[in-house]
Structure 1
Amino acid sequence: MRASPKTICAAIAAATLSMSASAAIDIDLTNAGYQNEAVDSFTVKRLKVPGAGEWDVTFKWDPQTLHFVPQAVAASTAAQLQISGPTTVNEAGTITLSAAVRNADGTLAPTVAVWSVVPASAGTITPQGVFLAASQTADVNAVFTASVLLQGKTITSTYTVKVVNVAAASRTCAGALANNANGMLLADFGVNPETQKVTMLLTAASGNPSFLHGSLFFVQGTTSIDVSPYTFDADTALFTPSGGWSGVGTIASPAQKQAVFSAFPSSINLAQPFQIRYAGIAGAPGTIACN
């Protein structure tokens, strides 16, 4: 005989449930659940006995008495919240975490959780569990907490993901910032994303400008940082830095006047492509791409 919800209700609607030959125990079915075991048996999960906790009671149909008779009683295993997903993510990367309720019988039921993450500097997580890792200067453990309201109770779980700091490789970029009737101005840049530093060797390779005086712009997307002005007297090698530059001027040879200096454009992500633009010698401004 298959147990139906109607039959189950009839079997346990009585005010007491006989758990032994001589005991009658009050029960609370407010948060109880039902699990069909076989054609003639079922289990009531989380059957609460006031003062004695929650229990799982298995009933079996007795053809002699025409009743469902308690066959087994075990303490209920509380439902747990389980988080799954990757355990590492590179900075600026994206992963998705998911939450599921693990029932007492081991089955998993996907659920929508409320998410949070600490430290907040690790990144942000959406209500859908999508985590966007922030840029880091070192590896950091992001600890996620998911919470779900289940049968009037809040259950939580935590999960740790390592946000990996990806060391950006240093690189060089070079080209002509100006090449016109007034002369040729060459530049070699060393880019170090870890220290957020740009070092520049500026050479007046042709013509004979008595000094180099101009503006340099670091451009990335819609961001443009003016790290000028600076003045370099190529005849005396006197370098006057300002606007974020620092360094020293040198004279490589009478024919080639050079300046060596550096800047820290803090608003530019040097790990990503950017451009350096120069304006100072008459003619169209020169641009060097640092990819």
Structure 2
Amino acid sequence: MSDRPPHADGAEPRVADDNAPPRDAASVVLIRDGAGGLEVLLLRRHRDVRVLGGHYVFPGGKVEADDAAPDWAPVLDATAESLVARLAEPALTPAQAQAFFVAAARELWEEAGVALVDPPAALPTAAPDVTPGAWRTVLRDAGVRLATGALCPWSRWITPRNPPVGSPRFDTRFFLARLPAGAQARHDAHEASDSVWLTPREALARYWAREIELIPPQLMGLAQLARHATVTAAWAEAQRRRPPCIQPEQFRDGEHRAMCYPGDPLHPVRERALPGPTRLRLVAGRFEPYEGFEGWFR
């Protein structure tokens, strides 16, 4: 939910001087085992939506005020205090930590129809416009709790200052989640117009062929998942490490706009945070590794 690419015609957009604080958001990287290995769910946002129209994204959205409400306590499988440690961000309040988990699960249900609940249950289809507290009521009436344990904190991405025009700044917590047994993901036909399960390499190959549009957090996430053949392997890797905080640094490389990530010589954080390329450049309207397609897998 950051680093929006340029306009579809390939023209590089004007850069805005936007120093507004980023808006909290949460996103879910939903994975399953497929015939060709680990697969990830991507949703295509409607062309006419204001943010990232036409792009393929992981389910997610803004954190809402109700996501932090104390009224959530009876329908959570963990205390808000314990979720601070799960995110490994001691500066967060329990309410803030709760809000990220609730928002992630809520957005997954609203946008993809997948409910992370305990015990597993089929819930009513989400309405396009959900009023504050509506999902909490659905969970309570169904006699289930939101399964925060089904969400594994994966990474945090903060949109850099002065992003391309039309891209608000977000401070997004990404969570890894496994598709529950028997669940079927489907796009909501409101914010999303299509949904697809792809292996990470297939998704990157389709992006390289200009068949789908992706943004850097998704691209780098796919490059990370491409290292894993199974859901079990990806889940184990996510559980044994602290979720990295990624703050891209923008720079000019001759005629190209570019950005780098922790571990790159131009980035202030020297320790590498993610596998894959440490810098991307914008070439003919597409962010790509300096090493070409295989650079995603270095």
TM-score normalised to structure 1 length: 0.21
Structure number with the higher strand fraction is 1
Higher relative contact order (CA 8 A, sep 6+): 2
Q: Name the structure with the higher helix share.
A: 2
